[in-house]
Amino acid sequence: MNRKIFIVAVVSLLLDQITKILIGIFFTLDERIVLIKNFFSLHFIENYGAAWSILNNKVDFLIIISLVAIFIIYRFMYNFKQNSRNNIAFGLILGGIVGNLIDRVFLGYVRDFLSFKLFSYHYPIFNLSDTFIVIGVFLLIIAIIKGEDKHAEV
């Protein structure tokens, strides 16, 4: 694995796990602290599913999906042009997947705590791993649009 991808993955994983540990220390389950009224709060929950609580209580299946996703991402990263954006993208995605995988393996659920409300829509509560995955995928979409998803033929 590219050293830069590895560093980004480790840093994102550490940030994710540190924030989850701090939330666990300073919050009780289902505690909420409003930081920006009608927009953003910290709300500690245990998520036994995936995004939007799909596959609720299917932890073993989600662990397998995570391991398969890591394998697929690892294989795909060698097809992309090596540049800073792509390295960051793959590092964020891998760090995010591993962050939630650690929770599922050791706790049986994922610790979520970031809660946003936009107008009347209350977005599902999430964590830094989820954020890193979304940002990484967005950066890879940019790479694909720019044609950086295939090595240049010599």
Q: Which residues are catalytic?
A: 112, 130
Three-state secondary structure readout of the chain: CCHHHHHHHHHHHHHHHHHHHHHHHHCCCCCEEEEECCCEEEEEEEECCCHHHCCCCCHHHHHHHHHHHHHHHHHHCCCCCCCHHHHHHHHHHHHHHHHHHHHHHHHCCEEEEEEEEECCEECCCECHHHHHHHHHHHHHHHHHHCCCCCCCCC
Residues 43 and 32: beta-carbon distance below 8 Å: yes
